[in-house]
Amino acid sequence: MIVSFAKSFQKIYTNLDPTLKKKVNKQIAFLINNPRHPSLKFKKYNKDIYQAYVDRKHRMLGILKGNELKLFDLFNK
């Protein structure tokens, strides 16, 4: 899978603490190499938006078009 980042996601990512940033990087690597990895719990959130877990508290949202996921949000559940 190809993963790209909206400016909104980049802004959030820039302000993350190093521990959470490391977790996000790990989960993005899973999205690229194995989107079905169990820790991602990658699933449809609504119409065109998909959700992937970072950890128990944090989720990433993105729009899936073909084989490209454009991440646009990272939030605390």
Sequential pLDDT tens for the chain (77 residues): 999 999 999 999 999 999 999 999 999 999 999 999 999 999 999 988 999 999 999 999 999 999 999 999 999 98
Write down the pLDDT at residue 9: 98
Total number of domains constituting the chain: 1
Write down the pLDDT at residue 47: 87
| Whole-angstrom Cα Rg for the chain | 11
Nearest to 48 by CA among 32, 65, 28: 65
pTM listed for this prediction: 0.93
Rounded Cα gap, residues 41 and 59, in angstroms: 10
We report the CATH number of the domain holding residue 8 as 3.30.2310.20
Rounded Cα gap, residues 34 and 10, in angstroms: 22
Please give the span between the terminal C-alpha atoms of the chain, in angstroms, as a whole number.
Answer: 25
Boundaries of domain holding 16? 2-76
